[in-house]
Structure 1
Amino acid sequence: MLTEELVPNRRLAKIYPRANLITFQNYHQPKASKKSANKNLKNFKELIGEFGEHTSIHGLGKPLAANISVVQRLFWTIGFLCALGMMIFVIQILAARYNRQQFKTVVNATNYPIYRIFFPEVHICNQNRLNWARFPSAKENYLRREHHNTHLDRLFTEVVALYDTFTFGRFDVFQNLSGQALHELNYVNFTSVAKFMSWRCDELFTNCVWRHTPMNCCDIFIMRRSTYGFCMSFNSLEMTEEQLRQKFDDKWPWRAARSGPGTGLKVRVLINEQLHSPYSTKQKGVMFMLMEPGVWWGYPNRVDVTGQVQVRINAQLSFYDDATRHISSRIRECVFDTERNSIDFRTLLNHVYMFENCQAECRQEYTMRFCNCSVDIFFPPSQYPPCKLSDMPCLVRHNII
């Protein structure tokens, strides 16, 4: 009797047959005949041709047509691919333009009635904004008696002379005051001094005419602050009484009845060189700004002493369509007056949102950030503390900013 140990390979042979005992049966499918292959190709061509005849893709039917030569098919294929590439290129351009959210200005109406548009505010300044004939009274009213005929008297005179042509962004004119005891005159409100010495309407204007009607200049011009100090304004909404008048008078601010010469404002401005500051070397003349009522400032225009200027104004209103509200303010680069929670919203206190009002508020925020005060002669009353004389060196250091 044989044991498992003597013939170990017999059991293994039953489970794992040797390799040379393994046979493989190959199953060979019969090759398709040439006739069958030609038939399938013909069916495919017919299918492609039928698709080309009924496809709605413009231009694709030509290269897929059944009865054309190889050269024609190649020509139409190249043309179709070129057209497809051009279409993809144009789509990319349009997609990029849409993503940039570009705005376009269109003419909404060319026959809008002129009488519905506010006549602009006319802001007029003498380039030498102080009447130096009132300087002795100003020193008597604002400089303490014990400081008369002292070095503080000379400092007071020098500062007031600088206010004669002082404008925002020209703080460098106070550079020569560095090193002096400026804090000793912090009690002087130089904005009040400048207002006291500013030109009155009867000193600055004569021969005022509005819409062919002679007017009293002091009835139609008021004094107000601006980026150039205290000047006179026509058709302004800056004063409280003018704002109240707008609520009860639907004809205020004034409007012109029609366009053309003589339908607006005519005024003669007096220079009064003999009453200018003896320390001023600036060229004599007049500066005026035109802006929409409720706007704080505009870009200045200057006129020489003997100049006669006729200003023609284009009556134009620009506005954004409400459809632009869904675009962020950073893309459209403006905000609506109702978007007061926007991080881009800036405007002067008690003023509607306008570009110029926003910029004026930003100027105040910059002086607050670097010098912790606001040069109040250039802005309407606000919540910011006014700059004192001792703050001027700080403004000089940051003038370029």
Structure 2
Amino acid sequence: ILWALTVLTSLILSGFFIAPIVQKFSDSPTYTTVANTNYPIWHLDFPAISICPNIRIDSKRLKEVLRNEPWSKLDKYSLDQVLPKVLKKYLFLPGMDSNFEDVEADMKSFVDQYHQYIPQLLRSSIYSCQSLFQNCKWQGIATLCSDLFEMRKTDLGYCCSFNTVRQAEQFDFQDDEGFSFHNYYGEDYFELVDYTLENMYDNDENIYANDEDPTKRKRRSTPEVSKPKVTRLRRTNSAGTSLGLSFSIVIPERSTDDYTIAAFDGFKVQIHSPYDFPEVEGRGLAVATNQIAFISVSASITRSTENVKAMNRDRRNCFLSDEELDDYYIADGVQFNTFDNYTQKSCLLECQAHLIFKECQCIPHYFPSFSKALGQNTTCNHTGLDCLINHQHLLNALKPDDEEHSHQLMEGAKCNCPQQCDETVYMTEFSQVPKSSSVSSKEAGFGNTSDVYVYFKQFGVIEFSRDQLFSLADLIGALGGIMGLFVGFSVLSGVELIYWFTLRLFNNH
């Protein structure tokens, strides 16, 4: 009896110590530690910078565009009264809190008739990057601003971005002949040719030859496009105020036609990953007129080991950038199949686009164009715009997996988008001071300007390593050690037990 109690006690104690190890193997298959506190900045991309002036429309460019069809056929009332109100509704769409149903009937009729053309009208009448930027320097060397800043889509429409990959370049679409449709998605067709206002229209014809099928759109009087333009990301091996990116931005002055999206004169700037869709309205920093702004950047990098990458996708709870996700659903009935490589941001963007399209049969004009993925035209008539306003929670919030606390939160999009196994996160510190009146550029005839300096704070950043906590060999070793300690168990004793309770029972010789 004493021996039986001793064996039973040993088994219970071994089970007591084995249980947490098995649970940790099951619930926490990976762990993250600091691998390097001085990872060189020249091994990572310089952060992307997206800038949107608060005054969104250049009145002079707008007047030029309105001379072309279909706008040239508008009557004076529609041109002077209805169109400005409609444009303001579109510009304020990301933060609009009043229903589009509340507007006048003539505005609804106008939107329903011209909704296919309004997004392009906004694109054509914004301030060009060439007119906004001056005194640009990269790594302390004077550089043409036009070589640094290009138009990109953001949550405020088209804005100027530095070191930002087009969402179109990340789309994964090809026709039967292998031609990529990248140039039809995200940033418009003009981004791939020599864009000027003068050659955008030809003989007063509409710029699109086919408004229903975006893959058949043709540009009038423009050079042929052989290949989509590919963004080459910049890196730096310098840190400090004067050795990053610096520039002056001209702040447009308010006019009688006030297309201003904020209550202050200035602009918003966002520092983000080069691969992320810019969210300037939601995450940008505000810089006022006649200021000198300093934005120091630090970063953290997470790298996953080969052991983690070899794990099952569900066990590691993170996705590789080149993961095959044809069988993965990011929302009910929605597969991740639009982007070529996985990032959490691109997953959320595709998920939100599908969910908002399911509710409204259109998506916001500032989204990358998902018309190919959705198989339909995605521009909004007035009913669609009203639906977008009523469903902004799908664009601004995520529904948590924890239903216990969801009653305290607003409704959000239900998206299954795990983190990336390898990722770079940029952090910023921001300060701004007023310019001295003695160096005011307005007196020199340049208008109101603000100066911005974006730079790495230090030569090194923090590198994290994500590794496998317990491999199968580690688990077997831990279990064997505990069993050996408490009950003297080994492979040989296991074989001996099998022998005594099988062969030995039937053979006494």
TM range (shorter): 0.5 to 0.7
Q: State the one-letter code of the partner of 1:263.
A: L
| Corresponding residue of 2:392 | 399
Residue 266 (structure 1) shift: 0.5
1:226 aligns with 2:154: yes
1:358 aligns with 2:358: no
1:387 aligns with 2:315: no
Residue 230 (structure 1) shift: 0.3
| Corresponding residue of 1:56 | none
Which of residues 102, 117, 140 in structure 2 aligns to 1:176?
102
1:191 aligns with 2:128: no
Cα shift readout 1:137-184 (whole Å, capped 9, x = no counterpart): 3433355445322357633221112334443x6474635337532554
| Corresponding residue of 1:283 | 263
Kindly report the root-mean-square deviation, in angstroms, between the aligned alpha carbons of the 2 structures: 3.6
Q: 1:278 to 1:372 in 2, by over 3 A?
A: same
Q: 1:150 to 1:276 in 2, by over 3 A?
A: closer
Structure 1 CA distance, aligned partners of 2:165 and 2:74? 40
| Corresponding residue of 1:318 | 302
Cα shift readout 1:17-53 (whole Å, capped 9, x = no counterpart): xxxxxxxxxxxxxxxxxxxxxxxxxxx99xx7xx9xx
**Is the CA contact 2:100–2:385 (under 8 Å) kept in the aligned structure 1?**
yes
Stretch deviating more after TM superposition (208-217 or 352-361): 352-361
Q: State the one-letter code of the partner of 1:159.
A: V
- Quick one: higher RCO (CA 8 Å, sep 6+), 1 or 2? 2
| Corresponding residue of 2:362 | 373
Q: Secondary structure at the match of 1:363?
A: helix
Structure 1 CA distance, aligned partners of 2:370 and 2:65? 22
1:294 aligns with 2:275: yes
| Corresponding residue of 1:127 | 54
User: Higher helix fraction: Structure 1 or Structure 2?
Assistant: 1
| Corresponding residue of 2:132 | 204
Q: State the one-letter code of the partner of 1:320.
A: S
Residue 343 (structure 1) shift: 1.5
| Corresponding residue of 2:324 | 339
Structure 1 CA distance, aligned partners of 2:56 and 2:99? 16
Structure 2 CA distance, aligned partners of 1:172 and 1:101? 46
Which of residues 287, 296, 302 in structure 2 aligns to 1:303?
287
TM alignment of 1:1-150, pairs within 5 A:
89-101=16-28, 103-141=30-68, 143-150=70-77
Compute the TM-score of the two structures, normalised by the length of structure 1: 0.68
Q: 1:161 to 1:108 in 2, by over 3 A?
A: same
Residue 255 (structure 1) shift: 0.7
Q: 1:90 to 1:153 in 2, by over 3 A?
A: farther
Q: 1:176 to 1:323 in 2, by over 3 A?
A: farther
Structure 2 CA distance, aligned partners of 1:344 and 1:86? 43
Q: State the one-letter code of the partner of 2:328.
A: I
Could you tell me which runs of 5 or more consecutive residues in structure 1 were left unpaired when the two chains were aligned.
1-43, 52-59, 65-79, 247-251
Residue 127 (structure 1) shift: 2.4
Q: Secondary structure at the match of 1:319?
A: strand
Q: State the one-letter code of the partner of 1:377.
A: Y
Structure 2 CA distance, aligned partners of 1:276 and 1:350? 42
Could you tell me which runs of 5 or more consecutive residues in structure 2 were left unpaired when the two chains were aligned.
170-182, 184-191, 193-226, 395-509
Structure 1 CA distance, aligned partners of 2:99 and 2:160? 24
Equivalences, count:
322
Q: 1:279 to 1:126 in 2, by over 3 A?
A: closer
Residue 258 (structure 1) shift: 2.5
